[in-house]
Amino acid sequence: MLLGRRYLGVGLAESAELLCLTHQLFWLLGSVYPGDYLPLWRWLVDPFVGTEKKIREVSRRLDGFLQRVIDEHRQANEAKNLTDCGHGANRDFVDVMLSLPGEEGKERMDDREMKAIILDIFAGATDTSAVASEWAMAESIKNPKVLERAQEELDRVVGRDRMVQESHLRDLNYLRCIVREIFRMHPPGPLLIHHESTQATELMGYDIPAKTRVFINAYALGRNKRVWGGRRRRVPSRKALSGRWGAGRDYPQG
Ligand code: HEM
């Protein structure tokens, strides 16, 4: 959908390249880099540890990979003489971007902008979804009653001979509660994305100067006993759906 091709499980050299880059990217995104907080670290320690070199290398290879994807799409569209990059279901996300005008009156978005958007979505969508699914499965296996109830709901709403469709989701209340409980207990981005204050502000009695890096501890918020009580393990019951866990009440994740 995003790049117009299936990259995993097809045995291409490109798949291996993307998989390897993805692992390195998430390893780097997940690691704490002391140089962000101790400027001297960058000059005194990093030349020996080589973290910044690794970041530049992964960034260069990802840039090359995404440039190839964009070039291939552009060539394919030119070959088909589709100046507007085609219409309809066969268009993927890159085709759509190639057809859009750029900012400030530019005829098209430039490659740099497109690569940044693809990377943003790729990094935002892949690991988070995989981590949330893994936790949901692990917690369900650890809580057989919950698993049973989720299976019963799936059998009733979807049946055994069909795949789950988006249209089923509004009737899968118990499953929705499990997902929300997973976001609360195991947020895939425990500190969200780093934010920086644009101006000085005061929050709950704390003075936060302008240009301060702010970390939001979603993990701790989800386990705050004052808000959630002692519910460390419990998936909310169906009865609770009309209350705190009622339809439409999301645990914020992004
Ligand atoms: C279980 C799945 C997901 C979780 C838990 C999740 C969680 C988050 C979180 C915590 C943030 C940071 C919010 C902030 O600090 O302001 C974020 C941002 C973002 N997410 Fe997700 N996300 C998920 C799935 C997705 C998917 C499927 C996509 C795209 C198709 C996506 C695209 C993005 C993008 C583009 C941003 C960055 C927005 C920005 O640039 O500020 N996410 N997400």
User: What are the domain boundaries of the chain?
Assistant: 13-121, 143-242
Q: What value does the mean pLDDT take over residues 143-148?
A: 94
Choose among 125, 70, 63: nearest CA to 95. 70
Choose among 146, 239, 151: nearest CA to 185. 146
Q: Which residue's CA is minimally distant from atom 19 of ligand 1?
A: 124
pTM: 0.79
Q: Name the maximum alpha-carbon separation found in the chain.
A: 62
Q: How far is the CA of 254 from the centre of ligand 1 (A)?
A: 5
* Residue 119 Cβ contacting ligand 1 at under 6 Å: no
* Residue 250 Cβ contacting ligand 1 at under 6 Å: no
Q: Which of 54-68, 74-88, 117-131 has the highest mean pLDDT?
A: 54-68
- The answer to which of 21-35, 81-95, 124-138 has the lowest mean pLDDT is 81-95
Can you say whether the dihedral through the CA atoms of 145, 147, 153, 155 is positive or negative? negative
Q: How far is the CA of 188 from the centre of ligand 1 (A)?
A: 10
- Give the per-residue SS3 of 179-227: HHHHHHHCCCCCCCCCEECCCCEEECCEEECCCCEECCCHHHHHCCHHH
pLDDT band at 82 (very low <50, low <70, confident <90, very high): low
Q: Has residue 193 got a pLDDT over 80?
A: yes
* Residue 120 Cβ contacting ligand 1 at under 6 Å: yes
pLDDT band at 244 (very low <50, low <70, confident <90, very high): very low
What is the tens place of the pLDDT at every residue in 152-183? 999 999 999 999 999 999 999 999 999 999 99
Q: What value does the mean pLDDT take over residues 231-239?
A: 51
Q: How far is the CA of 45 from the centre of ligand 1 (A)?
A: 32
As a whole-number percent, the residues of the chain with pLDDT over 90 amount to 60
Q: Show the tokens assigned to 82.
A: 């589709």
Q: How far is the CA of 119 from the centre of ligand 1 (A)?
A: 12
* Residue 253 Cβ contacting ligand 1 at under 6 Å: yes
Which atom of ligand 1 has the smallest separation from the CA of 120?
Answer: 35
Q: Has residue 101 got a pLDDT over 80?
A: yes
Q: Has residue 1 got a pLDDT over 70?
A: no
Q: How far is the CA of 46 from the centre of ligand 1 (A)?
A: 30
pLDDT recorded at residue 14: 78
Q: Show the tokens assigned to 252.
A: 């914020």
| Distant-in-sequence, close-in-space partners of 196: CB < 8 Å, separation ≥ 6 | 211, 212, 213, 214
* Residue 29 Cβ contacting ligand 1 at under 6 Å: no
Partnered with residue 202 across adjacent β-strands are: 207
pLDDT recorded at residue 249: 46
- Mapping DSSP to helix (H, G, I), strand (E, B) and coil, where does residue 106 land? coil
pLDDT recorded at residue 142: 94
- The answer to which of 44-53, 131-140, 185-194 has the lowest mean pLDDT is 185-194
Q: Show the tokens assigned to 224.
A: 């705050």
Q: Has residue 254 got a pLDDT over 80?
A: no
